[in-house]
A and B are shown apart, each in its own frame.
Chain A
């Protein structure tokens, strides 16, 4: 189904007029909010705006300060660790669960609901519950110790070096259910005859998944990637609810740096510089890919 439905009318503007009118909200959002807001942010990152935006330019000062700030560096590092593990585990766990669910099991509905329900809860809730389960005085650690293993230590939220993994545990709990659903949907969309053909050819199951099924689920993987990756870049609430960036600054993330400096420190310039860095990183990774994926090319 291509867009070439209209037969060459003379006026280019009037071509597809209804579609253009209908797309006005999208165009406005894309141009005014996302593009405009971004440019506005980048523009003011070169100023020393404090509580309110003001036009007094300071060149690259905000960026120099940003890259000298230990907290920013830790935030970047945390996001990298969190991002990589979150992406890998979400995809692997999501896919494995979906593959298991696709084995014509009984109680499929029950299992699916169990895996998916955390997604219905907000990050405030997720953070709170996991904060509690991981609390050394009440949670897993104290329970295992009370069972007799007194040296058992599992205290991620109060141990700076591993706190980001404590957040990861909660994030995976919340998000993998949706990935599983997406993957399951993808698997269901695959024609059964492909399985039969693979079996006839004697291809082992894992190979079938890896080399035939997964490549066919390209669209699902793309949708999933967009959802997971955008969630990773924006991670904020979960950290605030679970650790508030602590202990110390060891679980800080970039989005929190942006927010804290914009509003708590009342230094918009600094916050905008940080958000510009985030946007640039996202743009470098996403734009070429998104354009190849969604634009330019005709669909087959």
Chain B
């Protein structure tokens, strides 16, 4: 950071230059139809089309009936809008004998996601705090192992974890699954929190130390209140990851806890006669709805949080 700071101060003294539109911050832009703007918006719109195309296909398809799907192309809007696929995906699609669609797994997903998110974030934030402010001998070694752990394919770890959980008597329980999510969320989250806490002004921490505050006091009284943005980022990452998880949910629990993605997989993969693309798409959107809503609501905080956490290191 040292060189950045000097650069900052140096450039600040030269900071009398007039603002140009190319700068990253400042006043509202000038007229819309400049060549530069056309290029920028053109590029953005093109990219947006690529990102939106699948969503469009999903929505449109989910509103069509099967005969129409068989006839037409996937991009044409529905001639006759039907919500039946949605109802079916939610409440009556079958896998095996269970014909209650996604609804069966929704609450399970909630029951898994909420505690898993809370526990994993709590632990990772304390890890990050310890690594940033209270480094002890060997801490870096453990952290390095953790980061390398982020690269291990989940599938490889299934067996050892089954054994560990079995020995702890937690296999098949919700607690076991929460532990698994905490473990696999830890590398990236710890990295984010560590970077964030490192970026907070050192003086704060030192002043608290002088006042005699200890590890936990500083964490709860000083660090925590300042860390909303990074908690939002962590929450978004975890909610997305855990909500969308299929493998752990199905391997480490029993059917009464199966998350929604298990039903999604079942609906998508159990073909009864013809593939019901409309139901598949509706199921897809329904399953993705929770993380999507989280994104729409907290997207702005997301960038701000990352800006606060990942940038400075």
Q: Which residue of chain B lies nearest to A235 when distances are taken between CB atoms in the complex?
A: B153
Task: Find out whether the CB atom of B148 lies under 8 angstroms from the CB atom of A290.
Answer: yes
A210 at the interface (CB under 8 A from B): no
Contact present for A226 and B147 (CB under 8 Å): yes
Contacts A104-B29, A128-B284 given; indicate if A185 touches B303 (C-beta within 8 A): yes
Is A115 in contact with B144, judged by CB distance below 8 angstroms? no
Residue of B nearest to A196 (CB): B17
Determine whether the beta carbon of B311 is less than 8 Å from that of A189: yes
Given contacts A217-B311, A278-B156, A295-B141, contact A132 B11 (CB under 8 A): no
Cα A271 to Cα B155 in complex, Å, equals 10
* Inter-chain contact B26/A19, CB cutoff 8 Å: no
| Contact stretch, chosen from A33-41, A54-62, A64-72, A159-167 | A33-41
Interface residue from A18, A181, A199, A279 paired with B20 (Cβ < 8 Å): A199
A53 touches B7 (CB 8 A): no
Report the contact-size class of chain B (Cβ under 8 Å from the partner).
Answer: 35 or more
Distance of A199 from chain B, by nearest CB (Å): 6
- Which of B131, B136, B291 is the one whose CB lies under 8 Å from A15? B136
Q: Is A177 an interface residue (CB 8 A)?
A: yes
Min CB distance A89 to B, Å, is 12
Are A197 and B146 closer than 8 Å at their CB atoms? no
For B158, the chain A residues whose CB sits under 8 A away are 262
Interface residues of A in 261-279 (CB under 8 A from B): 262, 268, 271-272, 275, 278-279
Interface: A222 (CB within 8 A): yes
- Per the bound structure, the CA–CA distance linking A116 and B303 in Å amounts to 10
Closest A residue to B215 using CB positions: A18
B153 touches A275 (CB 8 A): yes
CA distance A193 to B305 in the complex (A): 22
Name the residue on B nearest A96 (C-beta): B43
> Chain B 171-204, CB within 8 Å of chain A: the 1/0 string?
0000000000011001110111001001010100
Tell me if B195 and A219 are in contact (CB < 8 A). yes
Distance A234 CA – B157 CA, assembled complex (angstroms): 12
- Report which of B15, B27, B164, B295 forms a contact with A116, defined as CB distance below 8 A: B295
- Report if A223-B195 is in contact (Cβ < 8 Å); known contacts: A196-B23, A216-B4, A262-B155: yes
Once the chains bind, are A184 and B303 in contact (CB under 8 Å)?
yes
Q: Is A239 engaged at the interface, CB distance under 8 Å to the other chain?
A: no
Query: Does B14 reach chain A (CB closer than 8 Å)?
Result: yes
* Residue in B2, B43, B131, B142 whose CB lies within 8 Å of A300: B2
- Residues 1-53 of B at the A interface (beta carbon under 8 Å): 1-2, 4, 7-8, 10-12, 14-15, 17, 19-29, 40-41, 43-44, 47-48, 50-53
B54 near A129 (CB under 8 angstroms)?
Answer: yes
B75–A234 touching, CB < 8 Å: no
- What sequence of 0s and 1s flags, for each residue 148-178 of chain B, a beta carbon within 8 Å of any chain A beta carbon? 1111111111111100100000000000000
* A186 close to chain B: CB less than 8 A: yes
Contact digits for A105-121, partner B, Cβ 8 Å, 1 yes 0 no = 11001011111111111
Once the chains bind, are A139 and B144 in contact (CB under 8 Å)?
A: no
B155 touches A121 (CB 8 A): no
Find out whether the CB atom of B8 lies under 8 angstroms from the CB atom of A193.
yes
Q: Is the CB of B29 within 8 A of A26?
A: no
Give the contacting residue for A41; candidates B22, B160, B305; CB below 8 A: B160
Q: Are A186 and B311 also in contact (CB < 8 A) when A129-B54, A300-B2 are?
A: yes
Contact sample, A vs B, 28 pairs, CB 8 Å cutoff: A5-B205, A22-B215, A23-B130, A25-B182, A26-B143, A29-B149, A33-B164, A97-B44, A104-B29, A105-B40, A114-B48, A118-B51, A120-B294, A122-B245, A123-B244, A125-B284, A143-B73, A181-B303, A188-B304, A188-B311, A197-B17, A218-B313, A219-B195, A223-B191, A230-B150, A234-B151, A290-B148, A291-B144
Q: What residues of chain B have their CB less than 8 Å away from a CB belonging to chain A?
A: 1-2, 4, 7-8, 10-12, 14-15, 17, 19-29, 40-41, 43-44, 47-48, 50-55, 57-58, 61, 73-75, 123, 126-127, 129-137, 139-161, 164, 182-183, 186-188, 190-192, 195, 198, 200, 202, 205, 209, 214-216, 240, 243-247, 261, 264-265, 268, 277, 280-281, 284, 287-288, 291-292, 294-296, 299-300, 302-308, 310-313
Extra A-B contacts (9), CB below 8 Å, given A30-B149, A125-B244: A112-B300, A113-B299, A121-B291, A123-B244, A191-B8, A193-B14, A196-B23, A218-B313, A234-B153
